[in-house]
Amino acid sequence: MNEDNELFKPEYYLNREASLLEFNLRVLAQAEIESIPLLERLNYLCISSSNLDEFYEVRVASVLQMAKMDPDSVSIDGLKPAEQLSLISRKANVLVENQYRILNEVLLPALETENIRFIRRRDWTDSQRSWLQQYFYEALMPILTPVGLDSAHPFPRILNKSLTFIISLTGKDAFGRNSGRAILQAPRALPRIIQLPEDLTDCGPHDFVFLSSIIHEFVDELFTGMTVKGCYQFRVTRNSDLFVDDEAIDDLLDALEGKLAMRNYGDEVRLEIDANCPEDTTEFLRSLFAMNKERVFRVNGPVNLNRLQAIYSLIDRPDLKFQPFKPSIPSILAKNKNIFDAIKKQDILLHHPFESFTPVIEFVRQAAVDPNVLAIKQTLYRTGTDSAIVAALVKAAREGKEVTVVIELRARFDEQANIDLAERLQDAAVHVVYGVVGYKTHAKMCLVLRKEGKKLRNYIHLGTGNYHSKTARLYTDYGLFSCNKELGEDVRKIFVQLTSLGKVTRLNKLLQSPFTLHKGLIEKIEREAKNAKLGKPARIIIKVNAIVEDQTIQALYRASQAGVEIKLIVRGICCLKPEIPGVSEKIEVRSIIGRFLEHTRVYVFENDGNPEIYCASADLMNRNMFSRVETCFPIENPKLRERIMYDLDCYLKDDSQAWILQNDGSYQQMQPKGEKPFQAQMVLLSEMTR
């Protein structure tokens, strides 16, 4: 950041970590909205818990490392690492308190009214207790390994995020030992929620017991001749961000495989412990893990709320879930069995999940068996298990086609899946490369080279989201099919960059990180500012997942000062601060939280009445601009541009699922102006699906 810039003032920016916690508060707020189906509300609670886990594993771990390495460094908003950790603690405690309040006071009572019960130990009937005791003897006891703490049994290494118990004991064991404490880790293979059989006396169709409750009740069976004075659950979260020195390795795959084994034993970053745990035991654990009190959470319920997500699939209650829908397929694709014939007629835009992901799969499937297709090139970041696209790529290679796949092995928390994927593809004789040293390949693109008569034609798919059929039903994303000659040539050149050591060549239409995307966006923002000063039409609409990169923020501030109307739709982190007098008064920032995770990245520039619209794989973050390979592609077909503008207008009209960013970094949910709320996602769902 340029400290001479007049817009370089810490008070002009919001803290990144606090902004991410604000996002999780918005997600959690969905759990209290009564109009949302009950099991979906439970899911929102679980998602907020899972997000908080990752936040500590990655973001807090990063701040802790910075506190050790450079304690005087400052964040974009002027906070030193220690100050950031205090801010995180305050906000995270609010989030956690709300999570357990909502669980205990809102969701569990509401579930019970629907005959979905989580039965506490004190409420077990004799028949339930007898069945659970038998379950303990047969399913749990044989695989539980309590560890008494003494000089021969030091405190064991605790797996990242594992359910663990610390047990207070009196008396002596068979060898006369009396350490007073033992540790018991619940194996990850064990389900955390046990469903009681419906035919059991006093049981309903959906009665559940937490694994932790069963262990609490029968833990004394593991310590014959001793007395259990207390049993308390706890969970340790560890640094899970993998660091691989790109310049010091010969084989990225081998290096990653070595690192993955250590992920479960990184530095401790958070301790969650039963609220009933005595202070001396809590202090013992805190001291053992060298845990600052700011990162210790006393919880009133299961230490891992995300495990409650298993309930969703265990209960067949459609009335308590979102109504299923059937994504539509554009008519041009429905009418043309050959997808290449359809693409040849016009560019085709898909808006997932409202429109089906099936055409994307079909694109690769048809390419795999089409005798006119000579080569397929594709990037893969996250694909999911049993991917139909991967199966098609394997088939294509076995059919004798040239298949090249660029796999990003360092897609966080998908590293092992991508390593397995790379090996599967290599076994099928696919050319597999891992991208560029030092840069994650985050671009979403597929190229099919097809011989048509005496000519070769490139068919491409470019997207804002991953080639993952499951998330395509949960995330909103755009995908573009085209056989535009210049676009196809651009995609071909990028694949050459990724697979060879050649120099960067000039692209025709695409903007690309880390070369032209950042500069290109800044130039387009500055053009809007110039037009505004000249009295010409000027407007910017940006829809992304995050805005962090400071030079872009400053360019938006300057555009606002010039009079440009700026609408930002930012799902998660936003470091830009609206409503700064004389700086950002023309900027509105909103976040849409609904049934689907907003994931589209769209950039709209008015351009003096000739709007330019781009879709991208990149958010406005430093990593996307400078340390990843990203693509940003223009939407040039007039009808497709109108569609995207209509979608954006819906998001800007949303008066129910929209949250408006305030100057202090908090968000205020919009309230419907009329009797019927306008929800962008629901409008698009009703208009585009069946």
* Residue 75: strand, helix, or coil: coil
Cα separation values, 82 from 56, 79, 94, 241, 571, Å: 15, 8, 19, 20, 27
Cα four-point dihedral sign 439, 52, 240, 292: positive
> Do the Cβ atoms of 677 and 655 come closer than 8 Å?
yes
Q: Which residues are CB-neighbours of 193 under 8 A, at least 6 positions away?
A: 208, 209, 210, 211, 307, 308, 310, 311, 314
> Which residue has 């041009």 as its token pair?
332
DSSP 220-268: GGGSTTSEEEEEEEEEEEE-------GGG-S-HHHHHHHHHTTGGGS-E
> Which residue has 């969905």 as its token pair?
30
Return the ∠ at Cα 634 (arms to 633 and 635), rounded to 5°.
125
The residue among 363, 355, 595, 635 whose CA lies nearest residue 477 is: 355
User: How far, rounded to the nearest angstrom, does the alpha carbon of residue 234 sit from its chain's CA centroid?
Assistant: 25
Catalytic-residue membership of 442: yes
- Catalytic residue of the set 216, 351, 442, 518: 442
Contacts 24+ apart (CB under 8 A), 515-519: 517/616, 517/618, 517/624, 517/625, 517/630, 517/632, 518/549, 518/551, 518/552, 518/625, 518/626
Distance CA(613)–CA(622), nearest Å, equals 22
The residue among 309, 276, 275 whose CA lies nearest residue 193 is: 309
Indicate which residues carry an active-site annotation: 442
